[in-house]
Structures are given as C-alpha cells and as structure tokens.
Amino acid sequence: MYTSNINDESDELNEILSRIASGMASNVSKIKTVEKSCCKAYLSKGAISVRTYDEFIQAVGICKVAFVLITTTVCPYCQLFKPIFAKVAKVYSDRAVFIEVNADYVPEIAMIFHVYSTPTTLVLHNGRLVDTVIGYIPYNSFENYVRETLYSIGCISS
C-alpha cells in the first residue's frame, strides 16, 4: 500500500515535470522568434514623440531600425510632413521604430547628428546613423524609401 502511494506520487511528479519541460520548450521557441524579428515590441500607435535624450535612447533600442524625424515648432514643412511620417509609421511599426524629436525641446539630438535644417529624417541601424534625408517628402516617396530601407536591412521580404 505504501509502495502504491510512492508510485502514484512519482507518476504525478513525472507528469508535472513533463508539462513544465514542454512549457519551457514552447517559451524558448517564442524567444527565438522575437530575436529573429526586427523589433522587440510591436508599436501599434505608430510614431513616438520624445521629449528627453533618455526617452530617445530608450526608443532607439526598441528596434534594429529607427527612423527619426527632427522637427522644430515653427517649421511649416515639418508640420506638413508629420502626418505623413505618422501614417507610414503605422504601416511599418512592426518592423521599425519611428521617433519624432522636436529640436526645440531636445537640441542635443540635433547637435549629435549635425542636423542644421528641418525637417530631417535620420535612419539608424542598430543605433548607428546610416542615412539622412533633408526636407519634406511626399507620402508615396517616403513609403517607398522606408520599404526599400527595411528590405535592404532584411526587416521585410520582397
């Protein structure tokens, strides 16, 4: 009778360990999937507006690729381009992070990247500057540019 209890407990313990092991294997495969993607998080809201250098650093770390729009408060072309930037950000927010920086509030970012006119769009890959586009860009041109950039980096397939 005592041996029967031990066998029952042993079987129950093996079943529990088996469930834990299969759950861990499932979690490992999920982690590998996240590591292969270009972003650590999905940003459904599109563009992120940052007000401090620390917020900028955190935002850049979300994805392998960051599109950074440098604007100023009184720039009319900035105001025209912001909705385009936001619309493209919503389309590609699972592949890259889109960050809006107002140089009036966070001038050190504009200084670090030598931005002297606005709007300027910076492209960062793994935190390093890989391209700069100065000026207003129409929607179709900007969307094509983002798609081609993400394709060349390997964040989207053809």
Tens digit of pLDDT for each residue in 51-76? Answer: 999 999 999 998 999 999 999 999 99
Q: Indicate if the pLDDT at residue 33 is higher than 50.
A: no
Which two structure tokens, joined as six digits, stand for 120? 């300027």
pLDDT of residue 67: 98
What predicted TM-score, i.e. pTM, was given to this entire model?
0.75
pLDDT for residue 31 is more than 90 = no
Largest CA distance in the chain: 86
CB-based burial of residue 102 (10 Å sphere; 0-12 exposed, 13-18 middle, 19+ buried)? buried
For the stretch 85-131, pLDDT in tens is 999 999 998 899 999 999 999 999 999 999 999 999 999 999 999 99
CATH assignment at residue 128 = 3.40.30.10
Residues sharing a CB contact under 8 Å with residue 51, sequence separation 6 or more, in sequence order = 102, 105, 106
The domain in which residue 107 lies consists of 48-153
**52 in the same domain as 9:** no
Q: In Å, what is the CA distance from 117 to each residue of 30, 84, 138?
A: 43, 18, 18
- Residue 74 placed within a domain: yes
Which residues face 70 on adjacent strands?
Answer: 101, 120
